[in-house]
Amino acid sequence: MSPSRKHSLVAIVLSAVMSLQVSAHNHAGEKPTKDPVNVVAMTLPEVVSGLKPGQFSSQDLTRAYLHRIETIDRSGPTLNAIISLNASAMKLAKKSDMRRAQGKTKSPLDGVPFLLKDNIESKDLLATTAGSTALINNVTGRDSPLVARLRDSGAIILGKANLSQWANFRSSHSVSGWSAVGGLVKNPHVLDRQACGSSSGSAAATAASLAAGTVGTETNGSIICPSQVNGVVGLKPTHGLLAIDHIVPIAATQDTAGPITKSVAGAALMLDGMTGWQNDYAGSLDASVVKGMRVGVLDFARNDSPRLNAQFDAAIARMEAAGATIVRIENSETPPEFWGASRLVLGSEFKAFLDAYLSGSPADIPVRSLADLVAFNNENAEVEQAIFGQDILESSLESPAMDSDAYQDALALIHKATREDGIDALLRDHDVQVLMGPSGPVSPRADVVNGDVWPAWAGAGSIAAISGYPNLTVPMGTIAGVPVGVSFMSGRDADALLLSVGLAFENTGTGSPVPQYKPSVNAEDMRAL
């Protein structure tokens, strides 16, 4: 390609990115001028309660979130958590207020604004970009099933949240929370710390009160990690509970969407809306279930951080105080070929399902296959590969087909290791109902030069992700202002149980910490520990 042609393409891509980002300022239907509702300290149930008696309207609420997006995300700390806003948000809020005045409210979530991770399709005039300029015009006019259910509930799709590009399945040297479309998401608690990924924008937006709740997605840690480092509640539901149609895919055997909120009750409410109100997760919450419950503590999932271990020990004590019986679990092993098999499965599924997604998009996009995407990123490297490459995309091109023995054998191995020899075995062999561990390590500084540089990992969320079993993270405290979380896992379809256990734990503490937007951790923060 000639230099002039290359520079022309870069200019076009940059123009498209700027156009999309400007839409997050100006295309919300009404310019936010004030914050009529104090949404900072409100959980989702409190938002719902405030709408019921008419303390504030959906228009007031939507206007308040738009104002916070303008003052917190686009100026001020500039979190870069939001990629685009729905031009119809205020009109939808007005319609909700009219329904409420007529006694025709659709559900508890009627009139409540939510954000979607920008790999989830909505039939609003919003592109679904996965953070890539290749999909800058991917306006499909389709709702993912979970979005359709939220819409049927009267919820307002406020906009799209930034993410790790391609849900962090692009490079082994990636920077979590960065996308070519949205830039780098900042952690609202300590701005130079990782927001983690890939649902970085969703979790940061929830923590910063930019919406009443957000929807994230996870293949392996992408709800749990960002939720815990941003100090919010995140549920990775049982695989298959939520259909993944019209979500930009990685691996269909692991991909799922899930709620990210400030409270466990809020996560239950969101899950009710996302599943069409079939299971009454909110109504079945019962914190008393932990009394006499045997809880398996995953001591093998600790790392060597004294401060993190102290927080985890305090969390264990809180569970004991709530009435749980603690059972220590010191060891758990996976076959030596486990991680290689896991990578093979992800690569094979990614190639197959991304090819299918891109080729089937009704939008006018320049890529129709993984091979097209790799070529596009090379042609537009100044934008798309500004801080890291695409070795995972390239290696996925060579992955074995899903009907091959190599893929089938690898899938069987990782499922056996994480299901019958994994979570099922831990629950059975130790006679426990729930497993408890740290959600992850303390978030490090974001590093665009070296890529993600995390400390030794803490937590065992991968076994829940790969098995397809549920995983709930709940804030357990902060270390020098940086949030850390505790995870609760159990067997297939134990989502309601985990929400009740999480509520019991939440009731013993102070809930989600309020962001302080500190530039960095300093010596005084450390001396206070």
Residues with active-site annotation: 117, 198, 222
| Dist. CA 261–CA 134, nearest whole Å | 30
CB half-sphere exposure, 411, CA atoms < 13 A: 19
Q: What is the largest CA-CA distance in the chain?
A: 71
Q: Would you say 136 and 20 are in contact if contact means Cβ atoms under 8 Å apart? A: yes
DSSP letter at 460 equals -
Residue 354: which of 171, 135, 123 has the closest Cα?
Answer: 135
CA angle 172–337–410, rounded 5-degree value: 85
Residues 6+ apart with CB under 8 A from 299: 328, 329, 330
Q: Would you say 93 and 61 are in contact if contact means Cβ atoms under 8 Å apart? A: yes
DSSP letter at 422 equals I
Q: Reduced to 3 states, what is the DSSP secondary structure of residue 484?
A: strand
Residues 6+ apart with CB under 8 A from 38: 64
Residue 400: which of 338, 337, 350 has the closest Cα?
Answer: 350
Q: Distance of alpha carbon 316 from its chain centroid, rounded? A: 25
Helices 338-360 and 405-418 cross at an angle (nearest 10°) of 120
Residue 121: which of 247, 274, 249 has the closest Cα?
Answer: 247
